[in-house]
Amino acid sequence: MNFYENTLKNMNKAAKIMKLDQETLDTLSYPQKTLMVNLQVRMDSGEMKYFEAYRVQHSELRGPFKGGIRYLPNVDLDEIKALATEMTFKCAVAGIPYGGGKGGVCCNAKEMSKGELERLTRKYVQAVYQVIGPNHDIPAPDMYTTPQIMAWFMDEYSRLVNQYSPGVVTGKPIEVGGSLGRGTATAQGGAYVLEEYMKRHDMKAEGTTVIVQGFGNAGSFAAEILHSMGFTVVGVSDSKGGLYNEKGMDPFCIVKSKKEKGSVTNCDEGKAVGPMEILEKPCDILVLAAMENQVTEANMKNIKAKIILELANGPTIAEADEYLSKQGVVIIPDILANSGGVTVSYFEWLQNQQAYYWPLEEVEVKLKRAIIEALVRILDLQNEHKCTLREAAYISAFDRLDKALKLRGSGAHLRCKVYNK
């Protein structure tokens, strides 16, 4: 099952539980718009290369399209459609006035120079600028895109529309309109959700072991934050491999070592293991912060964690979700667990609109309040429908989206149907 099919399956399960109107489900099962382009970029060698790129706009029922841009060699349209769809539900879960969108460029960013990345980014903006904008579609960083890339994006868009437009993109450096707390927002939001869930179930951080799969932005910050909260980090991994130490490790040392040596596997904090083997090691909490489709039918019976926190998008396929839930494993789903990133992106956009910037303490207080409110609503729906947290999260989103669709009337239905065709 591919990522898009998996997303539709999650949607259908929740829709059936809540007896959602079929027309609403049909409306939200397809993107409103899909743009595919080829980018012509001059490389440092003088060679001209072509890169396939996408922008998918899933739904604008509750506000402008919102979603990141990833630079990956194997990115494809189904993946971007799935991510755009999940963004619609994530924003609805978080209660922020956005719809879902997503973008991607087929490239190997790790092998490109800074100049090549800048030229690629500006070409992408030139290809999509007429369908984006601060009040229509607001991109953000995702896998292998950075605050620097967002700064180039904003600069090129501002040049093309002849107006300084910091709100066209979020995740920018502070110096050009970024928000304090945005870099750590995904991990921090996930930590707030986990902390509140454990508090409500009389669980404590002390003595609780954690494995973090994926040691990029979200994963590395999550390891540091959870370690600082009193959790014992016993395992971490990146694309090259993992480290495991049942006695615990210092993630700050691992972050330092990875910056110096290129991979967590070069750190002496633990014993080296395979990048997928780390998922099956003993722990209380497994933080999935890598990519989609990591917990599957192939490894689900070997998962030993009691709680899975999904900081990545779509890391658990539907069959594994169903199996693990029946075994009593609590899965805190991606559309809740990693919604801290888009929530602080919303805060950044608000600050850009106002040209007034908040202190870090204000950002963190607002984030914590928003994401805990989302969790409480989902826990209430879980209790009402006797379902999993993932199903309850989709029900929470569907409820808000269905109300928006019905309140907006026939025009919204018609617009979505036309786009879907």
> Please, which residues have CB within 8 angstroms of residue 134's CB and are 6 or more apart in sequence?
64, 165, 167, 168, 349, 352, 353
- Residues 332, 397, single domain; the answer is no
Q: Which of 90, 102, 123, 281 is an active site residue?
A: 102
Domain boundary among the residues 273, 305, 337 is at 337
What SS3 class is residue 368? helix
Q: 35: exposed, middle or buried (C-beta count within 10 Å: 0-12, 13-18, 19+)?
A: middle
The mean per-residue pLDDT over the stretch 170-193 comes to 97
pTM surpassing 0.75? yes
* 199 counts as catalytic: no
State the pLDDT at residue 420: 56
The pLDDT of residue 262 is above 90: no
State the pLDDT at residue 415: 59
Tokens of 401: 């989206």
- Residues 156, 191, single domain; the answer is no
- Map tokens 């397809």 to a residue: 30
- Map tokens 């980014």 to a residue: 121
- Residues 155, 202, single domain; the answer is no
Question: pLDDT category, 266, cuts 50, 70, 90?
Answer: confident
Q: What phi and psi, each to the nearest 5 degrees, are found at residue 41?
A: -130, 130
Query: How far is residue 148's CA from residue 145's CA, in Å, rounded to a whole number?
Result: 8
For 142-174, how does the pLDDT look when each residue is reduced to its tens digit (9 = 90+)? 999 999 999 999 999 999 999 999 999 999 999
State the pLDDT at residue 64: 97
Lowest mean pLDDT among 41-55, 71-85, 159-173, 255-269: 255-269
Percentage of the chain with pLDDT > 90?
91
Domain boundary among the residues 318, 337, 356 is at 337
The pLDDT of residue 250 is above 90: yes
The boundaries of the domain holding residue 49 are 31-178+389-421
Nearest to 33 by CA among 86, 81, 87, 98: 81
For residue 130, tell me if it sits in a domain: yes
- Residues 173, 196, single domain; the answer is no
The mean per-residue pLDDT over the stretch 106-129 comes to 97
For 267-323, how does the pLDDT look when each residue is reduced to its tens digit (9 = 90+)? 988 899 998 999 999 999 999 999 999 999 999 999 999 999 999 999 999 999 999
Q: How far lies 182's CA from each of 139, 328, 345, in Å?
A: 14, 34, 7
Lowest mean pLDDT among 75-79, 252-256, 264-268, 380-384: 264-268
Query: How far is residue 83's CA from residue 314's CA, in Å, rounded to a whole number?
Result: 8
- Contact between 288 and 311 under an 8 Å Cβ cutoff? The reply is yes
Question: pLDDT category, 419, cuts 50, 70, 90?
Answer: low
Q: Strand order in 241-244's β-sheet?
A: 271-273, 241-244, 232-238, 209-213, 285-288, 307-310, 330-332
Q: What is the CATH number of the domain that holds 404?
A: 3.40.50.10860
- Residues 171, 260, single domain; the answer is no
For residue 155, tell me if it sits in a domain: yes
The pLDDT of residue 52 is above 90: yes
- Residues 160, 235, single domain; the answer is no
Q: How many domains does the chain contain in total?
A: 2
Domain boundary among the residues 320, 337, 354 is at 337
- Residues 397, 318, single domain; the answer is no
Question: pLDDT category, 2, cuts 50, 70, 90?
Answer: confident
- Residues 94, 120, single domain; the answer is yes
Query: How far is residue 44's CA from residue 114's CA, in Å, rounded to a whole number?
Result: 10
State the pLDDT at residue 414: 57
For 340-373, how does the pLDDT look when each residue is reduced to its tens digit (9 = 90+)? 999 999 999 999 999 999 999 999 999 999 999 9
Q: What is the mean pLDDT of the chain?
A: 95
The mean per-residue pLDDT over the stretch 19-29 comes to 95
Lowest mean pLDDT among 264-268, 283-287, 334-338, 395-399: 264-268
- Residues 154, 207, single domain; the answer is no
Q: What is the CATH number of the domain that holds 231?
A: 3.40.50.720
Q: Which helix (H) or strand (E) holds 17?
A: helix 3-18
- Residues 36, 119, single domain; the answer is yes
Residue type, 108: N
% helix / strand / coil in the chain, to the nearest 5? Answer: 50, 20, 30
Query: How far is residue 3's CA from residue 334's CA, in Å, rounded to a whole number?
Result: 13
